[in-house]
Chain A
């Protein structure tokens, strides 16, 4: 985890995220190399859904020259899976900047709930899970 720092190209302060007791941080790795973090997600299980505090692809998985595509999508699908496991029917929420609302609607199938809130509901959650976890 030492490599996960702003000086190494990460945008968010993941060390602080680890310190939040109500949140869990999950890492995405590839099967053959579990030491290299491909992306991170910080999740909080709420009373009726899962809230995504942060999702971030590793610096080498960002932009045009990324090594792996779909890292963030994979992590969002994981959040949906966790939501089903906790009995919340795949419902997930997160906050978005105004200019990215349309982008999240297109790439994730998320719905603009209002204000800065985006939600992912059951059917979309199932689609994402089928897309990223179809071999499990």
Chain B
């Protein structure tokens, strides 16, 4: 498929309308999962640090 010359540079994005309800749902689930993962990783680190502090006492 040939790309129009005007589209070969990064001159514009979009024009395809809004996200559909399904797309919204998929993105939301992905970002939520990502957020949860980063929180749980943070908790694990905190837990390790607490454990370390307790061991030092």
Q: A48 and B17 in contact (CB under 8 A), knowing A57-B12, A108-B10, A114-B26?
A: no
The interface residues of chain A, by DSSP majority, are classed as: mixed
Q: Say yes or no: A62 contacts B32, CB within 8 Å.
A: no
Complex Cα–Cα for A51 and B23 (A): 12
Complex Cα–Cα for A58 and B24 (A): 30
Q: How many A-B residue pairs have CB under 8 A?
A: 94
Per the CB 8 Å criterion, the residue count for chain A at the interface is 42
Complex Cα–Cα for A107 and B19 (A): 22
Q: Say yes or no: A93 contacts B27, CB within 8 Å.
A: yes
Q: Say yes or no: B3 contacts A51, CB within 8 Å.
A: no
- Interface residues of chain A, those whose CB is within 8 Å of chain B, are 11-12, 42, 46-49, 51-57, 61-63, 66, 71-73, 76, 88, 91, 93-100, 103-104, 107-108, 113-117, 119
